[in-house]
Amino acid sequence: MTTQTLTLAGGCFWGMQDLIRREPGVISTRVGYTGGRVAHATYELVKTGHTGHAESIEIVFDPERTSLKRIYEIFFQIHDPTTIDRQGNDIGSQYRSAIFYADDEQKRIGEAVIKAVEASGLWPGKVVTRLEPLGDFWEAEDFHQDYLERYPDGYTCHFVRPDWKLPDGVLEAV
């Protein structure tokens, strides 16, 4: 089986992991830190907001069962891409909205989806999601992995927003 890997940031990684892992075709997820300047990033360092890292989720998926476009679509439904460095009660650059692209295809499709989301007018403001090249991904501590599976009533600021869905066919040309 051929797989693809995509890394996204959209606030606290617990809620993103919990919702994205449910998509058929997602093989595995892990949470961690990327986009920063410090090697071997840890929660203790990243939570200060001074390392440049974002709480992120690495998604491994089967492109024959789900598409890159579909993963992006879920991403934009479960977090608010119109708030700079914030999701819910979580504030700081470590909670920014970002697509960390690993190749030209991820960047190209990410750009197209961001433009489509912006043009749709369905979201509550201007889209501020950043496109950043993927650098090192530092896996988060065990405590953070699969957090909401272990603590189903734990904190999350992520939920599916049914009204924040691009109309069918919008991404077909991408």
Indicate which residues carry an active-site annotation.
12
Strand 130-133 versus strand 97-101 pairing type: parallel
Instruction: Give the integer Cα–Cα distance in Å for 108 and 137.
Output: 21
Q: Which of 61, 37, 33 is nearest to 141 (CA)?
A: 33
Cβ atoms of 100 and 35 closer than 8 Å: yes
Alpha helices (runs of H) in the chain, residue ranges in sequence order: 13-20, 43-46, 68-78, 104-120, 147-150
Q: Which of 156, 114, 154 is nearest to 13 (CA)?
A: 156
Polymer length of the chain: 174
Q: Which of 106, 123, 109 is nearest to 172 (CA)?
A: 109
